[in-house]
Structure 1
């Protein structure tokens, strides 16, 4: 059994936010590829729970809608700033 000292745990926690994760760059296409791969390779005697899959789809759909809303608000803010000459910060 391996033990972790407090200093090594703290060092790991402090560097965790600084490392760029490839998971932050996933998009809808990547999500659908993962989902279909999961379905294709699941154990037929123990399939994935449908409610979990629907929850994942709903969460991804919500996140996608929020991102689109943010993009739209940024565009509107930029247009208002151009018209009025007053910068508006979104977010």
Structure 2
């Protein structure tokens, strides 16, 4: 009786599964990029659909709902902080370059 190795029979990655088809690769990449750009509007749409689809006799636990909202609020705060820090960094870089230009070069 012979045994088969599960890893030996599996393709190394998704490109191998798709046979290198550029159409499938482009669609997968577009889907992946759209997933990474979810915003508050997307969250509110998901929340609305979740509320519409829940069973009225067994509603979602309030603790779970509050946890989701708190996590999204924390994420939104982090994104705003990152944007502010990027803006500050850009302004500091410009200030440093202006100071370098103002200092006469030593010969």
Question: Runs in 1 of length 4+ with deviation above 2 angstroms?
Answer: 7-12
1:33-76 Cα offsets, whole Å, 9 max, x none, are 11011101211111111111110110110011001001000000
Give 1:4-83 correspondences, 5 Å limit: 5-7=6-8, 8=10, 11=13, 19-20=28-29, 21=32, 22-83=34-95
Q: Distance in 2 between matches of 1:6 and 1:56?
A: 37
Q: Distance in 2 between matches of 1:44 and 1:6?
A: 46
* Larger of the two Rg values belongs to structure: 2
**How many pairs were matched up?**
78
Q: Distance in 2 between matches of 1:54 and 1:10?
A: 41
TM-score for the superposition, normalised by structure 1: 0.73
TM-score for the superposition, normalised by structure 2: 0.63
What is the aligned-residue RMSD (CA, Å)?
Answer: 2.3
Larger CA deviation: 77-86 vs 30-39: 77-86
Any gaps of 5 or more consecutive residues in structure 1?
A: 13-17, 87-91
